[in-house]
Structure 1
Amino acid sequence: MTLQAKLDAFKADFEAGKPPYNVPYSVIEVMHRATAELKANGQAERAKGVGDKAPVFTLNDPDGNPVSSKELLKKGPLILSFYRGVWCPYCNMELQALQEALPEFQKLSASLVAISPQTAPNSRKSTRQNNLTFPILSDEKGKVGEAFGLKFKLPDYLVDLYKNLKNDLPSFNDDPEWTLPMPARYVIGQDGTILYAEVNPDYTRRPEPEDMLPALKRAKIAA
């Protein structure tokens, strides 16, 4: 089953209010409204894309060790996966799919890191819960996500919904601002140029891991 098929199956059960979710449709309507508005404002089209230079960054892993994009690119192409946090089931399914595909990426000399605004303890939970062997990096205050054009502020009505659902982003992220990155996937060549980009304001839609293989193969040939 493809990653998107798994996401679609989860979404169908969630939006149908099946146990254990039991979510009323009024909640689903609010989520749909927020996604539609984020799509309509065109931010995804303004985010960093193919041909752009990727912002250079250094972020900490859950143990406080700095991880530099510049250093990773010395080894080969770099895959970045921006995700919302360990509380997001769609993100967890994507991380699991990337873990399954990791050997294929490594054959092409690529490094893989995932980036979210959450704190180190929550990143450790992501690693543990999803049995990951690639680094999860904490993007403090969403600064790297902002540099890629992914960071957005949640509308007030969505903040109210998240509060009602006990989804406390300021606590998860150690940031009083209610912001998130749009989910995004990038392949960056060793010269810092973005070779593949997929940014989607709809957090229930994610590209397949194998979609990046053509860009990774081109990068290996060019190296």
Structure 2
Amino acid sequence: MTPGQWGACCTIATPGRRPNKGRVMAKLEVGDLAPEFELPDERGRAVRLSQELEKGPVLLVFYPGDFSPVCTRQLCSYRDSYDRFAELGVNLLGISDDTIAKHRRFKEERHFPFRLLADPRREVIECYAGIGLLSGGRAHRANFLVGKDGRLAYIHVEKVSLFHRGADELYGALRRALGSPS
């Protein structure tokens, strides 16, 4: 997939639908091209979605914030099941509006094997997951699986930030989305 074929973040062009421009969350659907983005990880290194997809499918995990009880439980459950996600060839990226420094502390303290991306201006968050009032104006808790072809293969957005997709349930959904045998 060439860069011109990507949906640009916050300018989602889907055949048969008008592009959504601006800072309003686009209504992304399974089969849409994933909006391209580049964000720094917990070490300040740039991570570009299209480059990550060269390695295989990417699971984008949007969450309200580092060190909060529900977010910590959620990401720790994904950490504990990381080998199962890796068996599917899925690369996991956590995304919140926290700072690089806070992500670095969170990752070090909780020993996450996946990178945490900082989106302090919430541009990618708004483009994909949207902002929730019940999460204090922070990211909706959401999972987006982007296939190697750059298309969204699975989407789950929680409207109530107290809930999250458990690792077992998420693994099953990803396995089905990727067409992997049980």
Q: Indicate whether the TM-score tops 0.5.
A: yes
Question: How far did 1:149 drift?
Answer: 4.6
Which digits, 9 at most, give the CA deviation of each residue in 1:97-128, with x for residues without a partner? 01011101111111001000011111112202
Once the 2 structures are TM-superposed, how far is the Cα of residue 209 of structure 1 from its aligned partner? 1.9
Q: In structure 2, do the counterparts of structure 1 residues 107 and 76 end up closer, same or farther at CA, with 3 Å as the change threshold?
A: same
Structure 1 residues 113-145: Cα deviation after superposition (integer angstroms, max 9, x where no partner): 100001111111220232211100101310101
**2:75 aligned with 1:117:** no
For the residues of structure 1 that align with 2:177 and 2:157, how far apart are their CA atoms? 21
Write the mapping of 1:121-136 to structure 2, written as runs, cut at 5 A.
121-136=101-116
Rate the CA distance shift 1:115–1:216 in 2: closer, same or farther, 3 A. Answer: same
What is the identity, as a one-letter code, of the residue corresponding to 1:203?
Answer: S
Instruction: Identify the residue that residue 164 of structure 1 maps to in structure 2.
Output: none
Q: Is the 8 A contact 1:110 1:216 kept in 2?
A: no
One-letter amino acid of the structure 2 residue matched with residue 84 of structure 1: P
- Residue 42 of structure 2 aligns to a residue whose secondary structure is coil
**Aligned equivalent of 2:47:** 67
Counterpart position of 2:144:
186
Return the alpha-carbon distance in structure 2 between the equivalents of residues 75 and 217 of structure 1.
20
* Structure 1 residue 200 corresponds to structure 2 residue 158: yes
**Deviation at residue 198 of structure 1 after TM alignment:** 1.0
CA contact 1:108–1:220 (8 Å) conserved in 2: no
* Structure 2 unaligned residues grouped into runs of 5+: 1-23
Which structure dedicates a bigger proportion of its chain to helix? Answer: 1
SS in structure 2 at match of 1:112? strand
Q: Is 1:88 aligned to residue 78 of structure 2?
A: no
Counterpart position of 1:55: 35
Name stretches of at least 5 consecutive residues in structure 1 with no aligned partner. Answer: 1-42, 160-178
TM-score under structure 2 length normalisation: 0.76
Shift of 1:187: 1.1
Corresponding pairs, count: 156
1:141-152 matched pairs, under 5 angstroms: 141-152=121-132
Q: 1-side partners of 2:97 and 2:88: how far apart?
A: 28
| Structure 1 position 108 matched with structure 2 position 66 | no
Q: Secondary structure of 2:122's partner?
A: helix
Alignment partner, residue 13 of structure 2: none
- How much is the aligned-residue C-alpha RMSD, in angstroms? 2.4
Mark the structure with the bigger radius of gyration.
Answer: 1
What is the CA-CA distance between 1:151 and the residue it aligns to?
A: 2.5
